[in-house]
Amino acid sequence: MSATLELTKDLISRPSVTPEDLGCQQRLAERLESIGFTIEHLRFGDTDNIWARRGTQSPVFAFAGHTDVVPTGPEENWTSPPFEPVIRDGLLYGRGTADMKGSIAAFVTACERFIANNNDHTGTIAFLITSDEEGPATGGTVKVIETLEARGEKIDWCLVGEPSSTNKVGDIVKNGRRGSLNGYLTVQGKQGHIAYPHLAENPIHLLAPVLTELCAIEWDQGNEDFPPTSFQVSNLNSGTGVTNVIPGTADIIFNFRYSTELTHEQLQQKVEAILDKHQLNYDLKWELSGKPFRTASGALVDAVKVAIKTTTGYDTELSTSGGTSDGRFIAPTGAQVVELGPLNATIHQVDECVSVTDLDTLSEIYETLLDQLLSK
């Protein structure tokens, strides 16, 4: 078995459901130390992180990833146990194979080969690995970046190993992400008997026309880099659970995935103006998960394109679609950020899997990228 497959299987066998790491980072640290990396373990709250460096000079190229995985759901629904990696028909099955322990293993093996041939490479190679990307993301990459910024350490180029590919490995590279803004809204009514509605005020009825208006708005038309801004309700709760009581409150959670055509402040103002227009008695709290970012053509994007073309023979496509990633914490520092990993067809699903061949191809792409950027 290849070195990348072997390491991926090792990591998969550790049930590191967020925010647990369960020794994954220690295993990575051992491999990296053996090829000249200095390892710094950083723990914030319940989250383990490592910041590893080989070199002291700029430019700094960082691999970023996470060792935590989402819960498996009922394990009896899996064809084989989710934390017992098994190969069937050329696919490696297990929780985290695609998101994103396979990428992390490919990071390491790519570095091992690159350093064996380029012991005195230019610049610095770094690893930023966390264990809370799949959770609230409060003690992981965001805290490591704060620590680096406070002491003046900068990342110039960053590759996040999120599963970006669609049909074949490397066909899609994320060079940006939309912003994500959450709203937590409570509409106040007046509880009462359902047979006497004139003595009550139904918050669901009050909320309904507001939701109709919010769902009908064309927030923007997007642009050449981003799709249009979208508004989606994720949770709606009200009622006492019985049939004869008008509820006193209605709670709703909603999300904007927004382009660079709008700011989160503008979205907040528009929503609040609609609520006020309908004269609702409400409480609204906002949570900004990340601002939109985009890495334009330049050294990193160009080198990624060449690495994919050299390794696979086909051209890649740049995209800003999909959800958020830890790139949203790294890009604001001025770093160029891209995301490149395996196919995303089975991520967070039962029987998550990755092609064994794709793991080796991914490792080769990463090695070629290092050649492009840091070879003398």
Q: Is 133 a catalytic residue?
A: yes
E strand or H helix at 271, and its extent? helix 264-277
User: Which pLDDT score, from 0 to 100, does residue 375 have?
Assistant: 94
pLDDT mean over 266-278: 98
Is pLDDT at 321 greater than 90 in this prediction?
A: no
User: Which pLDDT score, from 0 to 100, does residue 56 have?
Assistant: 93
Is pLDDT at 253 greater than 90 in this prediction?
A: yes
Is pLDDT at 152 greater than 90 in this prediction?
A: yes
Indicate the residue type of 205: H
Q: Which of 68, 132, 358, 371 is catalytic?
A: 68
pLDDT mean over 81-103: 98
Give exposure, 7-46, as e/b (b: 16+ Cβ within 10 Å): bbbbbbbbbbbbbbbbebbebbbebbeebebebeebebee
pLDDT mean over 204-215: 97
How far apart CA 58 and CA 41 sit, in angstroms, is: 22
User: Which pLDDT score, from 0 to 100, does residue 376 have?
Assistant: 84
Report residue 323's pLDDT band, with 50, 70 and 90 as the boundaries: confident
Is pLDDT at 283 greater than 90 in this prediction?
A: yes
Report residue 333's pLDDT band, with 50, 70 and 90 as the boundaries: very high
Is pLDDT at 322 greater than 90 in this prediction?
A: no
User: Which pLDDT score, from 0 to 100, does residue 249 have?
Assistant: 98
pLDDT mean over 117-143: 96
Instruction: List Cβ neighbours of 237 (8 Å cut-off, separation of 6 or more).
Output: 250, 251, 252
User: Pairing state of beta strands 245-246 and 47-54?
Assistant: unpaired
Report residue 1's pLDDT band, with 50, 70 and 90 as the boundaries: confident
Is pLDDT at 69 greater than 90 in this prediction?
A: yes
Mean pLDDT taken over the chain:
96
Q: What is the pLDDT of residues 225-248, one digit of tens each?
A: 899 999 999 999 999 999 999 999
Q: Which of 20, 132, 133, 371 is catalytic?
A: 133
User: Which pLDDT score, from 0 to 100, does residue 284 have?
Assistant: 98
User: Which pLDDT score, from 0 to 100, does residue 126 have?
Assistant: 98
Q: Is 68 a catalytic residue?
A: yes
Q: What is the pLDDT of residues 5-51, one digit of tens each?
A: 999 999 999 999 999 999 999 999 999 999 999 999 999 999 999 99
